[in-house]
Structure 1
Amino acid sequence: MTAVPSQGLDVSSYWPGRYRGRVVLVTGAAGGLGGAAVERLRAENAVVVATDRVGADQELDVTSEEQWERVCAQVLAEHGRIDGLLLAHGAQGPEVPVEEVDPADWRRTLSINLDSCFLGLRAVLPSMKRAGYGRVVALSSISGREGNASMTAYSTSKAGVIALVKAAAKESASQGVCINAVAPSMFQTPLLQHLSAERNAELLSRVPAGRIGQPAEFAALAAWLLSEECSYTTGQVLDLSGGRYSGS
């Protein structure tokens, strides 16, 4: 797979102090995108509660309602607030034609990618609304906007995230809470390892920029969406696909 090198982003592009006093809960923090976001947020002085099933500061199974309630209660007890929520977890799901998808794999993919975001919003939004302030960013995908052949469970789950974000944003906009989604295309994360070389090459061929996105580029966008500066943008799906998506 050939990719055009990225210039990337270095620490000089950070805004030290932007998040001072703010508490941000991040899921998928041990992953490529979530990990990069945690690094950036901490560099900008956020108090970050980094969660994942393994490899993060705090264990969180995002498919468990009980664990969501426990983690949020702990954060509120320790810090008194949750200002931001970054839902950066996800699972690739089966890569086969729709008629070959095992129903158990279908349910698992939707549970990890979609149901978990509902549970996260349900756990976090009450405290944000009481505070009159909150920022939520959910990781969707370009496949949720366009659909990817042989990735029906993944595409459907990510399309569901988009609808969830749009609906919840309309409910929360008058209470100081902004909720948005990010739709990446190919990014340099472990998820690419679950696809064949041929599949990776085919997906890359659809990206006009001609290269794979870097986690620091996701972190830069997420850092703005989770900040106070994002005050009048809500219910949106922000493209991060190197020009792949051209729809409305």
Structure 2
Amino acid sequence: MRRAIVTGGASGLGAATAARLRSEGIEVITVDLSDTADEVLDITDESAIAALADRIGPVDIVINSAGIVGPNVSLVETDSDQWRRTFEVNVVGTVGMMRAFIPGMVERGWGRIVNFASMAGKDGNPNLSIYSATKAAVIALTKSAGKELATTGVIVNAIAPAVIATPMNDSTAPDVLAHITSLIPMKRVGEASEVAELVAWLASDKVSFSTGAVYDISGGRATY
């Protein structure tokens, strides 16, 4: 049985992904700050990630879903602490999980990593400069790692959702949410189950000749 770890797995896209993977018979360990997760953990804590890796042993699939939106304000209203905090969660936390589990995957000759980026990382959403920049960083991270690991059997891809109906977007300012929804040609937000379906495919044996790629799930918003 393959084993997966899903960060941000207690709610939203992470929870939907965990449920979908379990439906395939995959053993899933959810990681989150919420006490409803299998492992309560702050992914910005490098020592805690290392302890987790030692405790749970081999993992075949890593889904980096944990993330925060950060402030909904104009660029000039942001401060350095807000930038540091959002990058710590969205980028450094993702890197920490990858560093902890990639070596074991390489040793076993098989692994799947799916990083959650966003359409914001491609287009840049107004009044979400920090979030947009972190998701652009996740895209570049995925492309770089995909090239590094291309001959190891470990595949690294990212998904770039548009607006999805999740608890995280409940805290997005209504005007911002309306703007980014208006950019979607299908004229609706996505469902978590739709995203989970794509993630499950990327975490499977069905994908074998794609790495360092970004898969849009945007209702037609993506232009490249």
Instruction: Work out which of the residue numbers 51, 64, 73 in structure 2 matches 1:70.
Output: 51
Q: Distance in 1 between matches of 2:22 and 2:170?
A: 28
Give the Å deviation of 1:199. 1.9
**SS at 1:179's partner residue?**
strand
Instruction: Work out which of the residue numbers 75, 98, 102 in structure 1 matches 2:75.
Output: 98
Give the TM-score taking structure 2 as reference length: 0.97
Aligned twin of 2:31: 51
Amino acid at match of 1:244: R
Q: Distance in 2 between matches of 1:70 and 1:228?
A: 29
Are residue 119 (structure 1) and residue 96 (structure 2) matched? yes
Identity of aligned residues (%): 39
What count of residue pairs does the alignment treat as equivalent?
223
**SS at 2:195's partner residue?**
helix
Contact 1:31–1:89 (CA under 8 A) maintained in structure 2: no
Contact 1:169–1:235 (CA under 8 A) maintained in structure 2: yes
Deviation by residue 1:138-160 (Cα, 9 ceiling, x = unmatched)? 00000001111111110000000
Deviation by residue 1:13-44 (Cα, 9 ceiling, x = unmatched)? xxxxxxxx100011000121000011111111
- Correspondence list, 1:109-148, <5 A: 109-148=86-125
Deviation by residue 1:186-210 (Cα, 9 ceiling, x = unmatched)? 0000122112222221111100011
Aligned twin of 1:151: 128
Instruction: Work out which of the residue numbers 1, 8, 20 in structure 2 matches 1:40.
Output: 20
Deviation by residue 1:41-64 (Cα, 9 ceiling, x = unmatched)? 111100101110112111121101
- Correspondence list, 1:159-238, <5 A: 159-238=136-215
Contact 1:132–1:175 (CA under 8 A) maintained in structure 2: yes
Are residue 83 (structure 1) and residue 65 (structure 2) matched? no
CA RMSD of aligned residues (A): 0.8
Amino acid at match of 1:75: I
Deviation by residue 1:120-154 (Cα, 9 ceiling, x = unmatched)? 11111100010011000000000001111111110
Aligned twin of 2:11: 31
Give the TM-score taking structure 1 as reference length: 0.88
Contact 2:74–2:126 (CA under 8 A) maintained in structure 1: yes
Q: Which runs of 5+ in 2 are unaligned?
A: none
Q: Distance in 1 between matches of 2:56 and 2:214?
A: 28
**Bigger Rg, structure 1 or 2:** 1
Give the Å deviation of 1:232. 1.1
Deviation by residue 1:45-102 (Cα, 9 ceiling, x = unmatched)? 00101110112111121101111111111121xxxx2110000111000111111102
